[in-house]
Amino acid sequence: MSRKSTAHTKLDFGKSGKQTGFVYIPQSPHNDAWGAVPIPMAIIANGDGPTVILQGGNHGDEYEGPITIGELIRDLDPGEVQGRIICLPAINVPAVNAGRRVSPVDGLNMNRTFPGDPAGTITQQISAFVNDQILPLGDAFLDLHSGGSSLDILPSAIIEPAPDPEHHRRNAAAVLAFGAPLVVVIDNLGEARTSTAASVRAGLTTVGTEMAGRGTVSLDALAICRRGARNVLAHLGVLEPQGPAPERPETVLTIPGPPGYVYSPTDGVFEGFHSLGSEVRAGQEAGRVHHLTDPFHPPETLYYGAGGILYGRRQPGRVEPGNCCAVVAAPYEGDLP
């Protein structure tokens, strides 16, 4: 049974040309009894071809994706397009406006709310709109993420695993076409509430990214993201290719389950021992957490649980118990196209 949504828009998904506007999701806070959250959206359509959904701003402190999608909205002429592109550059508007990973309205991380709830909080309503009304229109989905303000990460394109081998092959081929310097298979420890997991359930060819982080705009990562989005659109036949096909990375990586994550056991300030991209070993010291206001207490030493390369590292020095301080990626052993 379909779920009824209160989201509404004047944009016509069946119309050719370029349309820009907003999707409105009603919200009734203290200062606006009959208000709505306006979510920017653009539809660029021409002729026959696949529908590709571009999403940015799932987390509000990740900037390369929204910048890239905004540029495509402004720059693309419908005559360049064969098919349809649905652009959602700032899908989680409250979080984007606040520059925060989670929504300041309900405190939820949108990327842990799929398939959402059309009768839930504002974040749950947004994810339900994407899940119920946008994904069924698509053939492919690009979800452009970065490390955000709590993580510094090597710029990479992400393969979301699919249980069907042919679907997994499609995902991998599109991710390789993105042309990032690194490709990483990430299943988020089996997490089913992400937008890319929802896209896979809907049968779409699915591409994710992690573009640097630190709560800033990386010029290198932005350049990768700009090229990569167009590369995938060309791979899918929506745009004409620009230049030669990107080179395949020598090694595809994956996060090897729970041992790939290093968590802080205590409060303090994390001192990492290695720079991103360094080769590390299981059992090797990863860093230590210092107790600045209790200098008589020795720091806590943290250790890697798996070997590989240092893929991500905690950005703020201050940590609490359970904060992720380091992420290791190791060679992927599965089949790829």
Query: Looking at residues 17-31, what average pLDDT do you find?
Result: 93
Amino acid at 290: H
Residue 45 domain boundaries: 8-253
Are 225 and 294 within one domain?
Answer: no
- Could you write out the DSSP letters of every residue in 18-86? EEEEEEEEEE--TT-TTEEEEEEEEEEEESS--EEEEEE-SSTT--HHHHHHHHHHHH--GGG-SEEEE
Are 47 and 177 within one domain?
Answer: yes
* CA gap 238, 49 in Å, rounded: 7
294 domain-assigned: yes
Query: Looking at residues 280-288, what average pLDDT do you find?
Result: 98
* CA gap 201, 127 in Å, rounded: 14
* CA gap 228, 85 in Å, rounded: 15
Are 178 and 106 within one domain?
Answer: yes
Domain boundary among 224, 253, 282: 253
120 domain-assigned: yes
Are 173 and 281 within one domain?
Answer: no
Distance set, CA 278 to CA 79, 274, 308, 311 (Å) = 45, 6, 8, 8
Are 97 and 243 within one domain?
Answer: yes
Are 136 and 265 within one domain?
Answer: no
1 domain-assigned: no
Q: Domain count for the chain, please give it.
A: 2
Instruction: For residue range 130-176, list pLDDT tens digits in order.
Output: 999 999 999 999 999 999 999 999 999 999 999 999 999 999 999 99
* Strands lying side by side in the sheet with 300-303: 300-303, 285-290, 268-272, 318-319
Kindly report the CATH number assigned to the domain that includes residue 198.
3.40.630.10
pTM: 0.95
Instruction: For residue range 93-133, list pLDDT tens digits in order.
Output: 999 999 999 999 999 999 999 999 999 999 999 999 999 99
Nearest to 52 by CA among 168, 166, 174, 158: 174
Distance set, CA 275 to CA 244, 301, 312, 333 (Å) = 32, 17, 9, 25
Domain boundary among 238, 253, 268: 253
Are 317 and 175 within one domain?
Answer: no
Are 128 and 277 within one domain?
Answer: no
2 domain-assigned: no
| Per-residue model confidence (pLDDT) at position 11 | 97
Domain boundary among 226, 253, 280: 253
Q: How many CA atoms lie within 13 A of 197 on its CB side?
A: 17
337 domain-assigned: no
